[in-house]
């Protein structure tokens, strides 16, 4: 099997890998902010629940979480799910996991803001929501961008864990071709793809970071 044929076979898997990445990012970033609010709640019960959730998501393997999300409905409730649920389970698993990490990043950024900024905003007549979204959040995003970038780069590589649910993303297809053809070329192509993907992500995040460095 020549290089072009291998590349053609991997192309559909590449599209699915990119899909997992973008859906996870689009859903986990805002969900992480919601979890961060819950984690910082003044209600001890609410705060404890979200703290426990974050602890479980960060303390157990993502692969295990994917298996629980996929097989859980059947083993727990006897619900038979269609093949289409495979992709949905992958997205749910990734979003639940990454939102926990983003929540802690958000929390650290929000709690690092000086109390005086909240007090000044109150004196200027801003409501709590206006203070947060117009004054605090833009500064928080600027502070946490390096940490967010690290997690986004990790996400690119973690998309390969979708193989645990036999989802035909790029890494799964690469393994199948390599086993059938006894060649390392599919793995090399996959490695190059992940590397270039991460270069694009790193470049994009760096550009965003520079644009937000408006005091330099």
Q: Please, where are the H alpha helices in 60-136?
A: 62-77, 85-111, 115-123, 128-130
Q: Is the pLDDT assigned to residue 214 strictly greater than 70?
A: no
At 84 the pLDDT is 80
Q: Is the pLDDT assigned to residue 69 strictly greater than 60?
A: yes
Domains of the chain: 3-212 (1.10.3720.10)
Burial bucket for residue 127 (CB in 10 Å: 0-12, 13-18, 19+): exposed
pTM of the model: 0.89
Q: Is the pLDDT assigned to residue 8 strictly greater than 60?
A: yes
Residues, the chain, total?
Answer: 216
Please give the average per-residue pLDDT across 3-27, as a whole number: 90
Local confidence band at 29 (pLDDT 50, 70, 90 cut-offs): very high
pLDDT over 90, % of the chain: 52
90-131: pLDDT as tens digits: 999 999 999 999 999 999 998 888 888 888 888 888 888 888
């Amino acid at each position: 099997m020549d290089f072009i044929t291998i590349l053609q076979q991997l192309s559909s898997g590449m599209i699915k890998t990119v899909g997992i990445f973008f859906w996870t990012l689009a859903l986990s970033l805002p969900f992480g902010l919601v979890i961060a609010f819950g984690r910082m709640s003044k209600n001890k019960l609410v705060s404890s629940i979200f703290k426990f959730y974050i602890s479980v998501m960060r303390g157990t393997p993502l692969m295990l979480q994917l298996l629980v999300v996929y097989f859980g409905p059947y083993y727990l409730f006897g619900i038979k799910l269609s093949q289409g649920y495979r992709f949905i389970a992958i997205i749910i698993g990734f979003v639940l996991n990454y939102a926990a990490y983003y929540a802690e990043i958000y929390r650290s950024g929000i709690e690092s803001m000086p109390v005086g900024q909240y007090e000044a905003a109150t004196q200027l007549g801003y409501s709590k929501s206006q203070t947060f979204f117009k004054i605090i959040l833009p500064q928080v995003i600027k502070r946490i961008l390096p940490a967010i970038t690290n997690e986004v780069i990790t996400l690119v590589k973690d998309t390969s864990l979708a193989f645990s649910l036999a989802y035909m993303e790029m890494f799964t297809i690469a393994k199948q071709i390599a086993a059938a053809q006894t060649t390392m070329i599919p793995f090399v192509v996959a490695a190059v793809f992940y590397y270039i993907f991460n270069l694009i992500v790193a470049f994009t995040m760096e550009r965003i970071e520079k644009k937000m460095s408006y005091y330099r």
